[in-house]
Amino acid sequence: MADDIERTTVVNEGAPGWISAALVVVGLLALTGIGFGWKDLGYAQDSAKSLNSDIQTMRQNYDSTLSAVQLRLSQSEQTNTELRSDLTVVTNRLQITQGQLKKAREEAQQIRDDDTAQLAAMNAQVKDQLDTKASTDEVKSVSGEVSGVRTDLNSTKNDLQMARSDLGTLIAKNHDDLEALRRLGERDYIEFTIDKKNALQKVGDVQIELHSTDPKKNQCNLALVVEDQRTEKRNRTINEPIFFYAHGAHQPMEVVINQVEKNKVVGYLSIPKTMQPATSASGN
């Protein structure tokens, strides 16, 4: 019986050998798992750092883009403000021009009305003279006056049939028309001839510089200098009025070109009666 006990003991002592080996294997597996877990943890930390860096970059790009958009918005608002200001100025100037045009038309109509009233008064005066005169000589004299009045009437009617500009002024196309306008006495007229290119020529209080001519098209390019203010006028056709204002003037001056030849133009300067020219223009 004692032998059985000893055998049993020996058998029991041999069992822990493979269990230990198993435990070692399990331990190795656990260490391997811990190693992989540590490696994965390192990858996770690196990914987190990379993600944080990408987020910071995105924030910086967003801030930069937002600043650029805000700057463009501010510039757009400033541009819109300037455009509104320019539109207001243009609108005001347009209203002034329309008012001047209306005034000029009213003045032209008043001139026609005054001419008609003057002619009617002259006819009435002549009729009264005919009624009071008895002798043949007196009748002949009065008849001569009637003929003169009729001639003046026809001349005035012809004057009023001249073309008018947008501002109501009569446009003379030649020297005879200018003489008729002088008889009306509404404005002063200075005739000029310019036969030198790119040289300022004084006409009254205005300087005119001829740049080029196109006789086939009856056009020319020139510049006007008024009170040190220079204005270029291109492709101007004959008998086309060029209006401009002197400082503080309520009525415009007017330049009209009647003839266009090679390197030469002939025309006149029209000045309101309220303005007196400093000198007359030379034809050379």
- Could you tell me the sign of the dihedral formed by the alpha carbons of 170, 165, 216, 213, in that order? positive
- In DSSP terms, 280 is beta-bridged to none
Q: Would you state the pLDDT for residue 155?
A: 56
Q: How does residue 79 score in pLDDT terms, banded at 50, 70 and 90?
A: confident
Tell which residue, 157, 166, 150, 178, has the closest CA to residue 112: 157
Tell which residue, 263, 280, 183, has the closest CA to residue 220: 263
Per-residue pLDDT at 279 exceeds 50: no
Helices (H) and strands (E) in the chain, counts: 4, 8
Q: How does residue 104 score in pLDDT terms, banded at 50, 70 and 90?
A: confident
More confident residue, 35 or 215: 215
- 8 by Cβ neighbours in 10 Å (0-12 / 13-18 / 19+) ranks as exposed
Q: Would you state the pLDDT for residue 282?
A: 41
For residues 164 and 160, give the distance between their C-alpha atoms in angstroms, rounded to a whole number.
9
DSSP annotation of 280: P
| Cβ–Cβ < 8 Å for 225, 206 | yes
For residues 127 and 194, give the distance between their C-alpha atoms in angstroms, rounded to a whole number.
50
Q: What tokens does 68 get?
A: 């650029």
More confident residue, 144 or 272: 272
Lowest mean pLDDT among 26-40, 172-186, 218-232: 26-40
Cβ-Cβ contacts under 8 Å for 246 (sequence gap 6 or more)? 205, 226, 227, 253, 275
Tens-digit pLDDT profile for residues 13-33? 555 667 777 778 888 888 787
Which run of H or of E encompasses 17? helix 16-132
One-letter amino acid identity for 5?
A: I
- Section 207-235 average pLDDT: 93
More confident residue, 150 or 197: 197
| Cβ–Cβ < 8 Å for 201, 192 | yes
Q: How does residue 147 score in pLDDT terms, banded at 50, 70 and 90?
A: low
One-letter amino acid identity for 114?
A: D
- In DSSP terms, 194 is beta-bridged to 265
For residues 140 and 142, give the distance between their C-alpha atoms in angstroms, rounded to a whole number.
5
Taking residue 167's Cβ as centre, other Cβ atoms within 10 Å add up to 18
- Section 63-89 average pLDDT: 80
Q: For tokens 């020529």, what's the residue?
A: 201
- In DSSP terms, 148 is beta-bridged to none
Mean pLDDT of the chain: 77
Tens-digit pLDDT profile for residues 22-72? 778 888 888 787 877 777 777 777 877 887 887 888 878 877 888 887 888
For residues 284 and 275, give the distance between their C-alpha atoms in angstroms, rounded to a whole number.
25
Q: Would you state the pLDDT for residue 280?
A: 40
Per-residue pLDDT at 235 exceeds 80: yes
Tell which residue, 97, 222, 111, has the closest CA to residue 167: 97
For residues 44 and 56, give the distance between their C-alpha atoms in angstroms, rounded to a whole number.
18
Q: Is 276 helix (H, G, I), strand (E, B) or coil?
A: coil
Give the CA distances from residue 139 to residues 125, 131, 148, in Å, rounded to whole numbers and listed in that order: 14, 9, 14
- Tell me phi and psi for residue 161, to 5 degrees: -85, -5
